Amino acid sequence: MKKIIFYSKIGCPWCDEMRKFLEDQALDFEEREVLENSNHFEEMKVKSGQSKAPTLDIDGEIYADVGVEDVKKLF
C-alpha cells in the first residue's frame, strides 16, 4: 500500500476535488492542511520547492500543484 500525504489549503476548490478523488478511490491518506499549520506549510515547501496546493507526497515522490487528472494516471 502506498503512503500518501495530501497537502491542502482550506477553501481551495482543487484541494476539495483531490480529497474527493482520494476518498472515492478508497485510498488511505494523511491530509495536512497548510494555511493554519505553518509546520505543514514549511514541510510542503521543502519537499516540493513551491507553495501551491494541492500537493501530494506518494511514497516520497512529490507531485506539486497537481490536478486529479494527473493523479488518476498513478493509480
Structural domains counted in the chain: 1
pLDDT above 90: residue 9: yes
Each residue of 10-62: pLDDT tens digit?
999 999 999 999 999 999 999 999 999 999 999 999 999 999 999 999 999 99
pLDDT above 90: residue 74: no
Q: Residue 14: give the domain boundaries.
A: 4-72
What span, in angstroms and rounded, lies between the C-alpha atoms of 58 and 29?
9
Looking at residue 1, what is its pLDDT? 78
Global confidence as pTM:
0.93
What span, in angstroms and rounded, lies between the C-alpha atoms of 11 and 19?
12
CATH code, domain with 33: 3.40.30.10
Mean pLDDT to the nearest integer, 3-11: 97
SS3 state of residue 65: coil
